[in-house]
Amino acid sequence: MSAAQQHGADYLSQNVENLSMSLLRFIPLSVKVALRERLLKRLNAVDMVPWSFHDDGVATVHNTDFLREPAFERAYQLGVATGSWGDSQPRFRAYTACWAALQACKTPGDYVECGVNRGGLARVQMELLNFQKSTKNYWLVDTFRGFPEERKHLVSQGMPVDTYGECYDDVVKTFAPFPNARIVRGTVPEVLPQVKAERVCYLSLDMNSAEPEIAALKFFWPRLSDGGIVLMDDYAYIGFERQKSALDEFARDYGVSILGLATGQGLIIKN
């Protein structure tokens, strides 16, 4: 924009403002007050709603007392202590993951999580399940140092590629109380044969990339027991559309359906 054009725009803007102020004098005070109150109600609508939960992309006015159950709260705080989530509070996602884990404990097979980071969700689940007394194993599969350089181009657009660094030793300490926690370090799918579970009751996918998630799903699907659960953390997240598209294609090919959840997760129950 030239200097002359800018001057013209400023002149027009000032005159419009002056005209608006002049016109306001003709509007009755009662009308101004009513309009102001109406505008403020719209602007503050989100803050004024009595949300029962409003975090991590989820907002609801419905009953969420289950998120404050003492047993879940204790377990959730242990997940927070791992440092997995930074400033985020994925309480509803963690609750959903715990529900899935509790359902899966009735199904033959082990638990598998592909995409562990520092182990927050698995730590919550294992605490709630009193997992150290379980006859099942929980396989935790990750690089434990973020995305390999040669695979960063595969990461979903909604995920920063440098999200976390080396954390293997911390994860080992986190799960030391659980003799049946099996930590498997490596990239998917290459490392998957190290998971010695003959049957799987629960599979968590949280690798922020379509290719390894589909590879893991295809690898474990024959081992997934009837009634087994697959929980996909990024399924409905904005910026993760490639993952959703790939997972939807898998579902069509295998004749199953994915339940999209308000948390952004996706859920399959094999039958």
Find tokens 């803050």 and name the residue.
Answer: 47
Q: Which pLDDT belongs to residue 19?
A: 47
Q: Which pLDDT belongs to residue 223?
A: 99
Q: Which pLDDT belongs to residue 16?
A: 45
Cα separation, 194 vs 32, whole angstroms: 71
Strand (E) or helix (H) holding 263: none
Strand (E) or helix (H) holding 94: helix 91-104
Q: Which pLDDT belongs to residue 42?
A: 62
Q: Which pLDDT belongs to residue 151?
A: 54
- Other beta carbons less than 10 A from residue 143's beta carbon: 21
Cα separation, 123 vs 161, whole angstroms: 24
Model pTM? Answer: 0.80
- Mean pLDDT, consecutive 10-residue stretches, the chain (271 aa), reads 50 50 67 69 64 91 96 98 93 98 98 98 98 98 80 52 81 98 97 98 96 98 99 94 96 98 98 92
Cα separation, 10 vs 269, whole angstroms: 62
Q: Max alpha carbon distance in the chain (Å)?
A: 80
Cα separation, 143 vs 184, whole angstroms: 8
Strand (E) or helix (H) holding 229: strand 224-232
Q: Which pLDDT belongs to residue 163?
A: 64
Residue type, 218: K
